[in-house]
């Protein structure tokens, strides 16, 4: 996947700002890749970007319309199709991270074929991946892992990339999920790869590099998630990480989507991830703990971070509240 | 997948008997499902079955022609296509476990569509699987795991099923790879499932059952295989095994296909598998060690088995040389 930039962000008829979180992520992390937003009537999201129709976006240099909104079930709304067709007609490619594919909408498929435009369904990898070789690659790699799904792995990875870049470090964020792919315009939606090729896809995603180069790889799932741990383990092995960051959300009462499964202890989780990662990189180490304390008050958050830091002797931050500079300093 | 029996086993132009090992497996484990063999000129394999042409097989009751031969690269040889077309014409379905699909050969696809026959490409799952729920299912489950790939997991599982059945136990072998699926006519080729759904596919494969029923589930890969461990972990979690059997080949000098990776120690491997399995079934236990000692002399084999049994306090057998009755006795 190599999506042409800059983007026009399509917010559609987003029910609320959460429904437009993909667009929000792109705007937050790659504002330089965005020319404006396109909203339909009844859109309840607003990124504060300039509202543009398609001709104005093309005029402003846009190359791709990105569907930055999700509705229930991840489907492509009939309301959107007319706009998406117009975008193709006016010269834009389309990209989306929905369950249903743009390429499966006959009108869009036909228009794209006729006009020579590209449809990027980033949740559906099109590449053919090799079986992993396990051979050590040059360059340095950091991987975020988690006590659970959806606890801040993408955010933490992007924050670390940004912090490293600001310090002049040779670094790339490597996206493994649809939002990350749309943010950066490249990556592999690892949970949609055929299971024989999980680790091989990650090896392909983070190829050999300069010895001082860092790949900051977005983690997925959790070794303790009964639905997705296989994805996580394959990702860990393919990544061959030198450094791991544990991501955690401390107020969760059970594993996401699994009401009868409680969260692992932080120490147990770090030990299991370290052991798994040692298979393909015996020198792997943990380099920090990243906690999403958004549901705690500032005093509660500070107490939790301090206690965790002392307990594990490991830099512990909320990447939103404190930033990740202490983690990056520890790494360098 | 539900392949109609009995089968005509197609050995094609097998270069040697190893090339026909799928057919051999079906003949060994389910002789009652086979009416005969069909060999082309230059076939160097012979199962000792009655040679039959297609009309004779149909006359004998065959419902499906199974491609029981693999050639280099897993492709469908041009030499075979005429025979396979004839089989469709004469009323048989086709089944194969090759990398390339029967359904992708235009002549076969067209003939099957026209005649209403089925093409089973068992390496390519066609079902839609749910995300795993992790909810405990009734019935008992045994899963074979291994220090490496291809070290006897399918053989051990089939031997345990056979031993249990001979003792009147309510038992089913659950196939997770193409050979196992062709042997039993059902199953899921788990390494070909999209990675998000590995555990969910296994939950579907081994549904709730009577409390005294055993599912004997064929393992895949190894937690210590840098290419495939994600598949193995997803399979373990979906299986929710009550009992694990460790399979091992003691003469291997490195992990299969990975020259720089050595095999794990048996104890380390058992501990890792037990820990992984405890996530979805805290009561899981190891119930034996199954060693493929075919490359050892009888005295060497006996010494290895005895030492391993004493070291781990765990029934240890070569399933070919000793059978698995001691493992099954320990389970009951």
Q: Chain A residue closest to B125 (CA)?
A: A194
| pLDDT tens digits along A127-156 | 889 999 999 999 999 999 999 999 999 999
pLDDT exceeds cutoff 90 at A99: no
Q: Which residue has the tokens 């912090």?
A: A163
> What pLDDT, on a 0 to 100 scale, did the predictor assign at position B2?
86
* Residues B280-299, mean pLDDT to the nearest whole number: 98
Q: Tell me the ipTM for this assembly.
A: 0.94
Chain A interface includes B257 (CB < 8 A): yes
Does the beta-carbon distance from A134 to B199 stay under 8 Å? no
pLDDT exceeds cutoff 90 at A32: yes
Chain A interface includes B191 (CB < 8 A): yes
* Residues B201-216, mean pLDDT to the nearest whole number: 98
pLDDT exceeds cutoff 90 at A163: yes
Torsional class of B265: left (φ above 0), alpha (ψ -120 to 50), beta (otherwise): beta
> Cβ neighbours of residue A251 under 8 Å, at least 6 residues apart?
A295, A296
Does the beta-carbon distance from A272 to B272 stay under 8 Å? no
Does the beta-carbon distance from B234 to A191 stay under 8 Å? no
**Tokens found for residue B1:** 């997948």
Q: How far is B234 from chain A (nearest CA, A)?
A: 4
Q: Return the percentage of chain A with pLDDT > 70, whole number.
A: 100
Chain A interface includes B204 (CB < 8 A): no
Q: Chain B contacts of A190, Cβ < 8 Å?
A: 195
Does the beta-carbon distance from B199 to A227 stay under 8 Å? yes
CA A6 to CA A8: how far, in whole Å?
7
Chain B interface includes A239 (CB < 8 A): no
**Tokens found for residue A85:** 């067709």
Q: How many beta carbons lie within 10 A of that of residue B142, not counting itself?
A: 27
Q: How far is A125 from chain B (nearest CA, A)?
A: 11
Q: Chain B residue closest to A202 (CA)?
A: B227
> Cβ neighbours of residue B144 under 8 Å, at least 6 residues apart?
B152, B153, B154, B156, B157, B217, B218, B219, B244, B245, B246, B247, B290
Q: How far is A134 from chain B (nearest CA, A)?
A: 6
> What pLDDT, on a 0 to 100 scale, did the predictor assign at position A31?
96
Q: How far is A291 from chain B (nearest CA, A)?
A: 23
> Cβ neighbours of residue B158 under 8 Å, at least 6 residues apart?
B29, B173, B180, B183, B216, B218
> What pLDDT, on a 0 to 100 scale, did the predictor assign at position A126?
83
Q: Chain B contacts of A191, Cβ < 8 Å?
A: 194-196
**Tokens found for residue A26:** 């792109």
**Tokens found for residue B92:** 């048989």
Does the beta-carbon distance from A237 to B260 stay under 8 Å? no
Q: Return the percentage of chain B with pLDDT > 70, whole number.
A: 100
Q: What mean pLDDT, rounded, does chain B reach?
A: 96
pLDDT exceeds cutoff 80 at B315: yes
| pLDDT tens digits along B17-34 | 989 999 999 999 999 999
Q: List the 53-72 stretch of A: residues with Cβ below 8 A of B.
A: none
pLDDT band at B69 (very low <50, low <70, confident <90, very high): very high
Distances (CA, A) of A6 to A12, A22, A182: 18, 15, 11
Distances (CA, A) of A256 to A177, A260, B70, B208, B231: 17, 10, 43, 23, 21
> What pLDDT, on a 0 to 100 scale, did the predictor assign at position A87?
98
| pLDDT tens digits along A201-218 | 999 999 999 999 999 999
Q: What mean pLDDT, rounded, does chain A reach?
A: 96
Q: Tell if the pTM clears 0.90, that is, is over it.
A: yes
pLDDT band at B74 (very low <50, low <70, confident <90, very high): confident
In sequence order, what E strands does chain B have? 7-12, 34-39, 64-67, 93-96, 119-121, 140-146, 171-174, 214-217, 243-248, 285-291, 316-317
Does the beta-carbon distance from B231 to A231 stay under 8 Å? no
pLDDT exceeds cutoff 80 at B322: yes
pLDDT band at A288 (very low <50, low <70, confident <90, very high): very high
Residue A162 vs residue A77, higher pLDDT: A162
> What pLDDT, on a 0 to 100 scale, did the predictor assign at position A71?
76
- CB nearest to B194's CB, from A192, A237, A276: A192
Q: How many beta carbons lie within 10 A of that of residue A209, not counting itself?
A: 16
* Residues B2-8, mean pLDDT to the nearest whole number: 95
CA A167 to CA A325: how far, in whole Å?
10
pLDDT exceeds cutoff 90 at B127: no
* Residues A226-237, mean pLDDT to the nearest whole number: 98
> What pLDDT, on a 0 to 100 scale, did the predictor assign at position B68?
95
Q: Identify which of A122, A123, A195 has the alpha carbon closest to the alpha carbon of residue B228.
A: A195
Chain B interface includes A229 (CB < 8 A): yes
User: Which residue(s) pair with A9 in the sheet?
Assistant: A37, A66
CA B81 to CA A186: how far, in whole Å?
41
């Amino acid at each position: 996947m190599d999506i042409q930039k800059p983007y026009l962000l399509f917010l559609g008829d987003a029910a609320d700002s959460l429904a437009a979180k993909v667009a929000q992520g792109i705007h937050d992390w790659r504002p330089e890749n965005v020319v404006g937003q396109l909203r339909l009537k009844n859109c309840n999201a607003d990124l504060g970007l300039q509202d543009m129709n398609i001709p104005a976006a093309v005029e402003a240099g846009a190359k791709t319309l990105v569907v930055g909104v999700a509705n229930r079930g991840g489907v492509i709304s009939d309301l959107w199709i007319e706009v998406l067709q117009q975008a193709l007609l006016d010269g834009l490619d389309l990209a989306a991270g929905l369950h249903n594919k743009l390429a499966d909408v006959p009108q869009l498929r036909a228009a794209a074929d006729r006009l020579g435009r590209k449809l990027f369904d980033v949740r559906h990898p099109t590449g053919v991946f090799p079986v992993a070789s396990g051979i050590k690659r040059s360059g340095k790699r950091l991987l975020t892992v988690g006590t659970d799904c959806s606890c801040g792995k993408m955010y933490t990875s992007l924050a670390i990339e940004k912090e490293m870049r600001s310090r002049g470090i040779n670094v790339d964020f490597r996206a493994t999920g649809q939002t990350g792919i749309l943010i950066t315009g490249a990556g592999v939606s690892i949970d949609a790869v055929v299971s024989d090729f999980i680790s091989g896809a990650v090896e392909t995603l983070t190829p050999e590099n300069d010895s001082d180069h860092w790949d900051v790889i977005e983690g997925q799932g959790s070794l303790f998630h009964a639905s997705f741990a296989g994805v996580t383990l394959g990702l860990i092995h393919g990544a061959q990480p030198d450094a791991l960051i544990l991501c955690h959300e401390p107020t969760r009462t059970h594993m996401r989507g699994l009401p009868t499964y409680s969260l692992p202890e932080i120490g147990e989780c770090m030990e299991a991830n370290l052991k798994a990662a040692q298979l393909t990189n015996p020198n792997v180490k943990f380099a920090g703990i990243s906690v999403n304390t958004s549901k705690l008050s500032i005093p509660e958050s500070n107490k939790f971070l301090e206690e965790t830091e002392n307990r594990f002797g490991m830099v512990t931050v909320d990447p939103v509240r404190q930033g990740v500079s202490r983690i990056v300093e520890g790494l360098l």
